[in-house]
Amino acid sequence: MGVRKARAAETQTALKEAARRLFVERGYLNTKITDITAAADRATGSFYEHFASKQDLLEALLTDMRGDASEAMAEHPREHDLTDRTQLRAHLDVAWHTIRVNLPVVVALHESDMTDSDRSDKVWLRLVEETEVLRHHLEYLREQGHDLPGDPTLVAAAMGGMLSTLAYALLRSGNPAYPDDQVVDTLTALLRNGLSGAGKAQP
């Protein structure tokens, strides 16, 4: 790779990193392209050499994220018993930390879908898509003869909505009101035993 190309790559990286930082700090919609270039110490015009628009930049970040995620998730078997406290907690823990690490993208997508005009069901579709793995686990449980609280897609969406809203609300402030562990513990207890059985010892 030549010096010229290296410099270009450097700029692209700088833009991405500036964007990630700003998306968390002030949100996707509030972040203007000029904010990004300024934060990356580049001129406004340079932005368009690398991305066609802010949406396009987000797409790129999303691609980066998927790259990481597909390694981590590699071959995730659906034969997991979410009624088992340990397994449920492990899942929630991974989910929570995945969101935390990818917070810029999560935030941006959240806000971006929201302003997508011609698809008022975009948010629902995204929610269903994001909770696909969860749904598979639930369907597996159902096949095992376990009675679910309801339709797997709906239950998965409900759980996912709880998780993402909480993360969005909690993680964006510099020092969250609750540490990660406590959140994951609480969600585990709530989702496993509900409100009625939370106090009981785990088998």
Nearest Cα residue to 21 out of 7, 41, 2: 41
Question: Between 85 and 104, how does the x/- string for binding to a copy of itself read (CB under 8 A)?
Answer: ---x----------------
Helices (H), 74-179: 85-101, 103-114, 122-130, 132-143, 152-171
CA distance 105 to 131: 16
Among 33, 98, 168, 180, binds a copy of itself (CB under 8 A): 168
135 lies in the site for DNA, by CB under 7 A: no
11 lies in the site for DNA, by CB under 7 A: yes
CA distance 59 to 105: 9
Residue 120 binding: pick among DNA, a copy of itself, none (C-beta 5-8 Å cut-off by kind) = a copy of itself
Looking at beta carbons only, is 57 or 138 nearer to a copy of itself?
A: 138
Q: 83 near 142, Cβ under 8 Å?
A: no
25 lies in the site for a copy of itself, by CB under 8 A: yes
Minimal distance, residue 51 CB to DNA, in Å? 8
CA distance 67 to 71: 7
22-41 positions binding DNA, by CB under 7 A: 32-34, 41
